[in-house]
């Protein structure tokens, strides 16, 4: 089993979000799964230009690292989205990545995959950013097994750290158990069914979305 962790802090794994993500990945590895960390600050993912090409062909016209990340996501068994809270939301790096995923979202191309989300903040409002990322997970077609977030206490430190890290490791384990058991989350299925029935969905996955160029 392989789990792809996408971190969107400009500090990469050296910041607070990276510290919390490390603990989630300890839990993932405890189950025997392989992990890969992809830091959006080390790759180039430009903002969406709204050309609609991905809706027609499944391929983004912008030539940067996005298609490679998409291929890794499609090849993964599960994934983790990690971002600091930047002005009540995710970082610009993560938002640019989400917007570029519009072709995947259009087809709910990550259906059957599971994900967890990780967030840190300066002073709280963690829940809003966690739910936003979980909603993106669902619109991609995937199921969220949950999220973890915390205000920081200093550089790479948190209040009640031992407790937080225990929960983070448990979330990593849970992600892999859900994948193995194909765990059902009925309340998310309702959202997925409603999204699936929307007109924007072409009804099939473009070959291009799956990385096959015509
Ligand atoms: C541009 C910017 C905006 C931020 N906005 C918020 C915010 O709205 N609410 C909050 O609680 N913390 C905010 N923070 C603090 C970060 O969320 C916090 O320091 C986080 O742990 C940084 O994670 P990192 O070290 O992984 O980059 C902001 C920090 C920056 C640099």
9, 22, 82, 121, best to mutate for ligand 1 pocket (most atoms within 8 Å of CB): 121
- pLDDT value, residue 139: 94
The Cα-based distances of 12 to 19, 103, 179, 195, 207 in angstroms read: 10, 26, 26, 33, 32
- pLDDT value, residue 196: 82
- pLDDT value, residue 197: 80
**pLDDT tens for each residue of 14-67:** 999 999 999 999 999 999 999 999 999 999 999 999 999 998 888 999 999 999
Domains of the chain with bracketed CATH: 2-210 (3.40.50.360)
CA angle 73, 15, 98 (to 5 degrees): 30
| Long-range contacts of residues 202-205, Cβ cutoff 8 Å, at least 24 apart | 202/55, 202/106, 202/107, 204/107, 205/58, 205/107, 205/109
CA angle 140, 54, 44 (to 5 degrees): 80
Nearest to 7 by CA among 111, 64, 79: 79
Residues in the chain where the model's pLDDT stays below 50: 202-204, 211-214
Atom number in ligand 1 closest to CA 87: 8
What would the two tokens of residue 155 be? 């550089």
85, 124, 154, 168, best to mutate for ligand 1 pocket (most atoms within 8 Å of CB): 85
- pLDDT value, residue 40: 98
- pLDDT value, residue 211: 47
């Amino acid at each position: 089993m392989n789990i792809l962790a996408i971190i969107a802090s400009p500090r990469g794994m050296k910041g607070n979000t990276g510290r919390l993500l490390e603990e989630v990945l300890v839990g993932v590895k405890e189950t025997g799964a392989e992990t890969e960390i992809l830091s959006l600050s080390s790759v180039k993912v430009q903002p969406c230009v709204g050309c609609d090409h991905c809706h027609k062909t499944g391929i983004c016209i912008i030539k940067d690292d996005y298609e490679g990340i998409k291929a890794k996501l499609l090849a993964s068994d599960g994934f983790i989205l990690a971002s600091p809270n930047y002005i009540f939301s995710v970082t610009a790096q993560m938002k640019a990545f989400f917007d570029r995923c519009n072709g995947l979202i259009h087809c709910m191309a990550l259906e059957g995959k599971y994900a967890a989300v990780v967030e840190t903040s300066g002073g709280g409002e963690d829940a809003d950013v966690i739910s936003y990322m979980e909603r993106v997970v669902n619109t991609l077609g995937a199921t969220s097994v949950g999220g973890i977030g915390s205000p920081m206490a200093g550089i790479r430190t948190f209040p009640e750290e031992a407790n937080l890290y225990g929960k983070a490791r448990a979330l990593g384990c849970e992600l892999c158990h859900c994948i193995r058991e194909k765990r059902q989350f009925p309340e998310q299925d309702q959202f997925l069914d409603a999204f699936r029935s929307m007109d924007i969905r072409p009804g099939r996955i473009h070959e291009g979305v799956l990385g096959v160029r015509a």
